[in-house]
Amino acid sequence: MKASIVVGLQFGDEGKGSIVDYLCTRGGSNKTVVRFNGGGQAAHNVVTDDGLHHTFSQFGSGTLRGARTHLSRFMLIDPPAMMNEAAHLEEITGIDPFNRLTVDRDCVVVTPLHKQLNLWREAIRGKARHGSCGMGIGETMQHRLMFSDDAIRAADLFDKELLVDKIERIQRYSVREINLSPYPSHGFMRFHDTPMDARDFAKELYNIGRRINVVDGREHLASCHDLVFEGAQGVLLDEWYGFHPYTTWSTCTPQNAITLLDEIGWKGDIERIGVVRSYMTRHGAGPFPTEVDGLERELVDKHNGLGKYQGKFRVGHFDEVLVRYALEVCAKTQGGAIDSIALTHADKMWGDWLSCDGYSEDENGDKTVSRLDVKSDRKDLDYQERLVRVMDRCRPVYRVASSNGDGFAEELGSALGCPVSIISNGPTAVDKIVPAGGLV
């Protein structure tokens, strides 16, 4: 029995899906991939050795290896988007992925109303936007926290009248939010002009629900023996330890995965793998100390580009300060310390590869900041916002690092105090290398 927990240690887009796909090739085929945070905004690209490609959003990234997917109660689900994703998976594999999917009965459902409210709220922020991808995740979480009884859950998908009632409540909430805002129209949308037909959407959800195997999450996980927990986003975007307000409404550390394992009295081994690119990337607004305008043209990523709401795919040099911060966040919170690092995109390295090992607060370039303190005693968004201001006034100080994947991995392990257990030289499983002393 083994549980592997995969989390991103940057701003997302680290290659977590590729690592999950690789882990699902190890030690037998009876694996279950568990999604334990986020929702349909995930975009985890997997390319198989024979050229199949899929961008995983709600299904687990081990699906092309025959792994099962379980969506835990910490996951938000978007049933219509799930249908679209399933259609592509069935097209390229000939297998209905719903047959290998289970969903916790307490998963909360994202609706088009949450998405519209999300886009409206981001639009009125203007230059102060948070970098949302517009998938309604934050709005759904906020609504659930404010009005828990109104939230649609997976277990509700089999009750048409309950669905109608909850959809109508969400409509009233959405209209009220718009009308109470200082920007009630903003030329963007008016909910009261184009109301959603609650019964039509309830029927759509009901029909999709008939294809989903909704289960008691604890009972189901207790019956599984080889688990791969697939995290979404990255620790630097964590709702409490990311850099407020440029964060996601999600716990991005291993904490949720450990909670699920504790609930079933897991007795097997646990490994926590933190994924990093050989350089930094970011989608959307927010601090990015090592960003270099134009570097995205040299480090081309065909699976990431211009986002409709988030703008261009931002690229910069590797930042040891931020990755060290992410490691310390994991170590000081309930999820526990990361055991090893998976280094991806090692094949993109060349020449004088730069890595930031500190920040300077003056023009002389003297390195004055080598780490950001983690405030783990309490959840303090004011403190997280102050860290944004620290990064805004600092400039990165670089060292010339090895441009060889093995050499850079060794340097990272030494600098960060965490060994590199996987080096990825490309998107497929055969592109992965396990250094000596790496994964068992």
- Report pLDDT for 195: 57
- The confidence band for 188, taking pLDDT boundaries of 50, 70 and 90, is very low
Beta bridge partners of 424: 432
* Across 51-65, average pLDDT: 95
Residue 121 predicted with pLDDT over 80: no
* Across 7-19, average pLDDT: 97
Mean per-residue pLDDT over the chain, rounded = 89
> What domains can be seen in the chain, in order of their start residue?
2-104+216-433 (3.40.440.10), 108-214 (1.10.300.10)
* Across 120-125, average pLDDT: 70
Residue 192 predicted with pLDDT over 50: no
292-342 pLDDT, tens digit each: 999 988 888 877 766 656 567 899 999 999 999 999 999 999 999 999 999
Using only the alpha carbons of the chain, give its radius of gyration: 22
* Across 2-24, average pLDDT: 97
244-288 pLDDT, tens digit each: 999 988 999 999 999 999 999 999 999 999 999 999 999 888 999
Q: Which helix (H) or strand (E) holds 76?
A: strand 76-77
67-89 pLDDT, tens digit each: 999 999 999 999 999 999 999 99
- Report pLDDT for 305: 64
> How buried is 406 (Cβ within 10 angstroms: 0-12 exposed, 13-18 middle, 19+ buried)?
middle
Give the whole-angstrom CA distance, residue 381 versus residue 37: 20
First-to-last C-alpha distance (Å) of the chain? 13
Query: Could you tell me the two tokens for 199?
Result: 């019964």
Q: Which helix (H) or strand (E) holds 85?
A: helix 79-93
Least confident of 176-185, 228-237, 263-272: 176-185
Residues belonging to the chain = 440
- Report pLDDT for 191: 42
Q: Taking Cα atoms as reference points, which of 258, 152, 252 lies closest to residue 201?
A: 152
* Across 360-385, average pLDDT: 83
Count helices and strands in the chain by DSSP H and E runs: 11, 19
- Report pLDDT for 190: 46
Contact 134, 308 (CB under 8 A): yes
* Across 166-172, average pLDDT: 89
Query: Could you tell me the two tokens for 34?
Result: 């568990």
